[in-house]
Structure 1
Amino acid sequence: MLPTWESFEEKSRMADGRIVLVTGATDGIGLRTALDIARTGARLVVHGRSPARVDKARKTIEEAGGRAEGITFDFASLASVRQGAEELARRFPRLDVLVNNAGVYMNERVVTEDGQETTFQVNHLGPFLLTNLLLKGTLTGPGARIINVSSIAHSRGRMSFEDPQLARGFSPYGAYAQSKLANILFTFELAERLPAEQATVNCLHPGVVSTKLLTEGFGMQGNDTVEEAAATSVYLATSPEVEGVTGRYFVRQREASPAPQAQDTGARRRLWELSEQLCSLR
């Protein structure tokens, strides 16, 4: 049974003024996540690609009694991600929580300005770069948290290290599943490299809900509500029950075991090195 809002508010120790960035927060699960975290007293930073949609999401949170500011950048451009990280550092003294929620499902293979397949870049490389840039200053303890929104689709994913851009044999679902597997591999490797006192990092499967990504990408309907889909992100962002917990995968606010390929230590290290190279972080 999912917790009620009252139980979230009773359990959360999030003090007023804590700053939380939710990416992809202009609609669907991201907007619901931002709204529900705002209910705990946090100060929200809502991210999106469109200034108009970011402003609309910000106003929605404020009309519900929350506090929110907006930021606009595009994960399909690594230069834009860098500019976004710089702007965040200028505007905010710190970030306490980062929810990497933004994601896409591409029905065709499209290459970004950086020469990367769009699904892989938006769902993995962009969040990888943003997280690492923020960890250099703005996003750091005590109690800082990173939450990566993955998917049960990771269980059918395979990392194509020889062809991560899927130039040969592209399929929409294969690209999406690979990117969601990458989310978990990234989470586990970052947790290994990052002291929990500096920040914790966890990932999750939100459920299957009829968002734009699911209906337009997969052509199907989900059985979960958007509130249910957001609940695990909210839990990981706010609950004292996961204070100090790092390097775990959650489903419906409970720790779960991901697919075997997500637990491959060699693959996660190889992905980290590849991601550093593609993002020019070395």
Structure 2
Amino acid sequence: MIYGEPCSTVVFVEGLMVGHKTFINLHCSGARVILACRDMGRANRAADEVRKRSGNGNVIVKMLDLASLQSVRALAKDVQQAEERLDILINNAGIMMCPQWKTEDGFEMQFGVNHLGHFLLTNLLLDLLKKSAPSRVVNVSSLAHETGKINFDDINLEKNYDAHTSYRQSKLANVLFTRELAVRLKGTEVTTNALHPGVIHTELGRHLLPSLPLWKRLLFLPLFFFVKTPWQGAQTTIYCAVNESLQNTSGLYYSDCAPKEAAPQGRDDAAARRLWDLSASMVGLA
């Protein structure tokens, strides 16, 4: 299988600003792409743009709210029943530094959406990915994992919630999930890698800036000259999804379309196994 051939099927999980740029690149390669999103209005508008720019109508939009395990299970069942194969799963959705919100199932919102939703969806689709092998799982993490810590004793941060701490924990969870998933998929021809897309001009930081005092906002202004566009930010995701040189590469972390060593806490195999077991218990996987 050459990734991006017309027979390829890709499930792309949310993240519309960067997502539909990735979506366009993948779709133009001839792949059948399923865009799974919470906001169906915006998702359909993005899909319409892809159809117009690519000239190919093979664009599917499906409902997915990662803050609801019921919604995750419903999408997985839909994909299992409707699709004969799944070549690439891109876990791209994210929420950043929001207030102390809870998911539908009572989990801390950033950990629930950024990690648990992806964890459950990936596990539910593993049989289809294995059937379609060689296939790939791509997890969008962040440089923020480098200052992250998994608070195993208070995973929902109920004792002392901090939006920054929560976000860093969720991004470290993405890296550790990728590491343990690679171990469990060894010999299946299903590979998985994590990545840092870069600092991108999207709506992801909408909860961050309003919470900062004016003087801090002014300090951030010069940094906007170095922020990536959504198109630039999509490139490492595309690289991990379709580059043929990565066909036998698994469990690594990428930035700017090149491998980069994850932070020490992102290379902790014992923590990765412990997080897997805890996550499986939280989402109700055997």
Q: Please indicate, yes or no, whether the TM-score normalized by the shorter chain is above 0.5.
A: yes
How many Å apart are 1:215 and its aligned residue?
Answer: 4.5
Asked if 1 retains the 8 angstrom alpha-carbon contact of 2:110 and 2:170, the reply is yes
What is the aligned partner in structure 1 of residue 248 from structure 2?
244
What is the rounded CA distance, in whole Å, between the counterparts of 1:218 and 1:115 in structure 2? 26
Tell me by how many angstroms 1:218 deviates. 4.9
The Cα shift of 1:40 comes to 1.3
Determine if contact 1:47/1:72 at 8 Å carries over to the other structure: yes
User: What secondary structure, in the 3-state scheme, does the structure 2 residue paired with 1:75 have?
Assistant: coil
The secondary structure found in structure 1 opposite 2:152 is: coil
Q: Distance in 1 between matches of 2:80 and 2:177?
A: 23
In 2 relative to 1, CA 145–178 (structure 1 residues): closer, same or farther, beyond 3 Å?
same
Give the letter aligned to residue 21 of structure 2: R
- Contact 1:20/1:96 (<8 A) preserved: yes
* 1:23 corresponds to: 13
Q: Is the 8 A contact 1:104 1:123 kept in 2?
A: yes
- SS across alignment from 2:189: coil
Structure (1/2) with the larger helix percentage: 2
**Unpaired runs of at least 5, structure 2:** 211-219
Q: Hey, what's the Cα distance between the residues in 1 that align with 2:243 and 2:277? A: 32
| Identity %, equivalent residues | 37
**Structure 1 residue 13: deviation in Å?**
5.2
Matched, 1:63 2:52: yes
- The answer for the alignment partner of 1:14 in structure 2 is 4
Structure 1 contact 94–139 (Cα < 8 Å) conserved: no
Q: Deviations over 1:168-207 (max 9, x none)?
A: 1111111010000000000000001112533100000000
Deviations 1:39-91 (A, max 9, x none): 21111111111222222121111111143111102100001100110011122
1:266 aligned partner: 270
Q: Which amino acid aligns with 1:71?
A: K
Superposed counterparts of 1:1-282, under 5 Å:
14-25=4-15, 27-65=16-54, 66=56, 67-137=58-128, 140-218=131-209, 221=224, 223-282=227-286
| C-alpha contact 2:129 2:136 (8 A) present in aligned 1 | no
Say which SS state the counterpart of residue 137 (structure 1) adopts: helix
SS at match of 2:192: strand
TM-score, normalised with respect to structure 1? 0.91
Shift in Å, 1:14: 2.8
Distance in 2, matches of 1:232 and 1:128, equals 21
Query: Over aligned residue pairs, what C-alpha RMSD do you find?
Result: 1.6
Structure 1 residues without counterparts, runs of 5 or longer: 1-11
Can you list the C-alpha shifts for 1:129-180, whole angstroms capped at 9, x where unaligned?
0000000335544221000000000011100000000001111111010000
Comparing 214-223 with 202-211, which one deviates more in the overlay?
Answer: 214-223
